[in-house]
Amino acid sequence: QNENIPPSLPDVVDEMALLLAKVIVKQGSNTLIVQNVEYFAFSPDISVDHNELQGLQGGTADEYYHMTAAEHTLGAAIMALTPTDGNFIVGDGATWVAESGATVRTSLGLGTGDTVTFANLSSDGTIASGGDITAAGDLIPTADDTYDIGLLEASEPEYTLKIEQALYDATEALSSTRNLGFTFTPATSYDLGKIELYLTRDSEGTGNVTLHIRATAGGLPTGEDLTSVTIDGATISDEGWEWVTFQLAEAYTFD
């Protein structure tokens, strides 16, 4: 039997299908007409455990990109830290904490007696040391070819100024026509009795070597001659470097 589409359809039929006919069942004088269409709403399962997220698994089978409870706890500890300027994040054996200053230095195992090695160290300011400064290489002067060396007061009446200015190639050699020098600035009044320089000579360098203590002029050791000492160049070894002492006949007082 022909029939028109009902004026009102269930949502599932209205959105997902079209009703083309209705069912009429007739047996003898009895007629059964199906006029209403029933539909069912299926509620999806809700995942309650990360291990149920199988559709999100990553590389290896049964390995999923989610955190364990322990990983979540440690991650939450970091996120709870205040990002204070100068703080370091370190582990205290149980969780992550933020530390600064002497506290973080202790946590990192850095004390006043530790030795830190740098491949390169550049400084635009003063590098202060409470002990000796040992250099395996040369001490390179600044652009104006001068050294600024401060000497602090000690218990000895005379001081030995001992600076290794290694001259390893001929372009830096001393000669009768070429002088080398450096400057130093006394930090206090003291008496200078001798100076030791690390020198060597070639087999022909047998002339006298004179060391002058001069006032500075324009940042260079070219001022008036304050005192000097001369030694026989033949006494300097021609077989290797050695410390050569320039002993002043009379100590010179810097004040």
Tens digits of residue pLDDT in 110-119: 766 666 777 7
27-46 confidence digits (pLDDT tens)? 777 777 665 555 545 556 66
Q: Tell me how crowded residue 190 is: count the other CB atoms within 10 A of its CB.
A: 21
**How many domains does the structure of the chain reveal?**
2
CA 197/CA 163 separation, integer angstroms: 6
Q: Which residue range is the domain that position 233 belongs to?
A: 158-254
What pLDDT does 159 receive? 43
What does the radius of gyration of the chain's CA atoms come to, in whole angstroms? 45
Residue 168 within a domain: yes
- pLDDT tens for 86-109 read 899 999 889 999 999 888 888 877
Enter the pTM of the model.
0.37
- Confidence band of 65 (pLDDT split at 50, 70, 90): low
Bridge partners (DSSP) of residue 90 are 97
Angle ∠(42,47,51) on CA atoms, nearest 5: 140
Bigger pLDDT: 224 vs 22: 224
Mean pLDDT of the chain: 71
Residue 18 lies in a domain: no
Residue 58: is its pLDDT beyond 60? no
Mark whether 247 and 182 lie in a shared domain: yes
Q: Residue 40 phi/psi, 5° resolution?
A: -120, 140
With respect to residue 217, please indicate whether it lies within any of the assigned structural domains.
yes
Answer yes or no: is 120 within a domain: no
Host H or E run for residue 108? none
In a domain, 229, yes or no: yes
Residues 165 and 91 in one domain: no
